[in-house]
Chain A
């Protein structure tokens, strides 16, 4: 039985302008999981995170973080939460070590130079500890933001678009770091535009669009449920008409040189063996074959467009 560490009940946000950024939303995040919140720009991802972290006042609803109401019991709730915002908001003139030490104190924790050193070393920032933030590259600034969020040893970490403006190598390092945190029991909620990131790391996925949480599912279940698989046969001789095989929905592609069969990933019998047998009986031979499974990105695009 998984235990929720964050319980969101009917949280909504309507700005003074009348814009409803978040419709009444309920969601539970389980302890120790990596939860990816996906959605197009302006979908309400950052608004939801900002409400949980105390930056935006909710219009309605309640949020409980690790057993603490985020408004009534904000001190205990916020001590458990670390936030890496989307924008690179840094104190440009500060030294790296000073800004990270400041964050730990701000969250009510006694100075712990050993922990600060460990965080900076884990993020490859130790050598830069005395550098002013303004002298760092965008990727290193992003690491500083993460170091600040980890300075008070949070149990829940929000990463709002952590890979924005980060090169591939750094992104891989970050994924490793996130996995390492999860192994230590930290619950991670990330929003991302890089669906690959969610596919790579997330245990569960939530899709939000136009302020509405339209789906929450285990990533693997989601990919099984909504994912499609295709078998592509590279034909020896091109066909002009789609061969009629009972019970099979076939398509021709590449000017008749490819025969494509889409099938349900959840079905017990995919029907591939029978199809190949029937094609062989009709003299349709192929030189190669391969299968493809739709990615999380395909599923995400299809869900958002469907709404």
Chain B
């Protein structure tokens, strides 16, 4: 096991993040805080409770999930795309680093960034919206599982992308709409048929519902917690398999 190699990649990636801490951390925190101000404090006070939870508190898990999904994909895809673009990937390919070690370094760093952002947003939300967390271990489990899974997904996108603009397509055109339509601002029980059934095909519904379950318990969740955990686990397994195959074959990395 090349632990020094993993540490080197991890530190390198975190170093890059710290150099641009302003835009890396404060930007997502600021934009999410604006949601809390508008939907939590201003409009939220005029909304009815959902599942026994105030509207301001109800949107906290979904907004944290929105930030984690987009930041995970962006950070991880940029992390591996940058050396491909700059040509410095030669060093990784010629180093005694296995596929799993490289993934641990890159995805570990990207997931750390996402988790830090998630925790900071969680703390910031408390300034605008009063909420209590029912199950902290489950919150942490969802935070970690979601961050790691979507960082892996971002890593795959970074390997497949052949231009900077393509790195932004999935977070902007797919993840953000899916998150908005996945129950960030509402319970899917509020939707009429057939939209309610159709929404169940949106995988982000399961993440937000599971995360909300961890915060407020069963009454605030849209789907069973077991289904949510299974969904994120399957997604994690698929991404792990894809990354393993990419390194095994050198697809888009080696010629």
Contacts and interface: CB of A to CB of B under 8 A. Distances in A.
A283 B87 CA distance: 68
A103 B91 contact: yes
Interface in A103-117: 103-111
Interface stretch (A48-56, A203-211, A260-268, A297-305): A48-56
Interface stretch (A29-37, A85-93, A246-254): A85-93
Residue of B12, B88, B95, B254 contacting most chain A CB atoms (<10 Å): B95
A85 B95 contact: no
B94 A56 contact: no
A83 B88 contact: no
Interface string B7-34: 1110110011001000000000000000
Nearest to A145: B91
A75 B95 CA distance: 8
B90 A106 contact: no
Contacts of A89: 86-88, 90-91
B254 A75 contact: no
Contacts of A111: 4
Given A76-B96, A83-B94, A107-B95, A91 B86 contact: yes
A107 B5 contact: yes
Contacts of B91: 83, 89, 103, 106, 148
Given A56-B255, A57-B254, A76-B96, A108 B86 contact: no
A75 B96 contact: yes
A91 B88 contact: yes
A194 interface: no
Contacts of A101: 8
Interface of B is mostly: helix
A157 to B, nearest CB: 12
B250 interface: yes
Contacts of A103: 8, 91
Contact of A54 (B11, B12, B94): B94
Contact of B250 (A57, A77, A81, A110): A57
A107 B97 CA distance: 7
A83 B96 CA distance: 13
Contacts of B16: 93
Interface residues of A, number: 36
B86 to A, nearest CB: 6
A122 interface: no
A200 to B, nearest CB: 27
B230 interface: no
B2 interface: yes
A78 B86 contact: no
Residue of B4, B87, B92, B96 contacting most chain A CB atoms (<10 Å): B96
Contacts of B92: 106
B196 to A, nearest CB: 48
Interface in A225-249: none
21 contacts: A15-B255, A16-B255, A53-B93, A54-B93, A55-B90, A55-B94, A75-B2, A75-B96, A83-B90, A85-B90, A90-B88, A91-B86, A94-B15, A98-B15, A104-B8, A105-B4, A105-B8, A106-B8, A106-B92, A107-B4, A108-B5
Interface of B: 2, 4-5, 7-9, 11-12, 15-16, 19, 86-88, 90-98, 250, 254-255
Given A105-B5, A111-B4, 18 more contacts: A15-B255, A55-B94, A57-B250, A57-B255, A74-B96, A75-B96, A78-B94, A79-B96, A83-B90, A89-B88, A98-B12, A98-B15, A102-B11, A102-B12, A104-B4, A105-B8, A107-B5, A108-B96
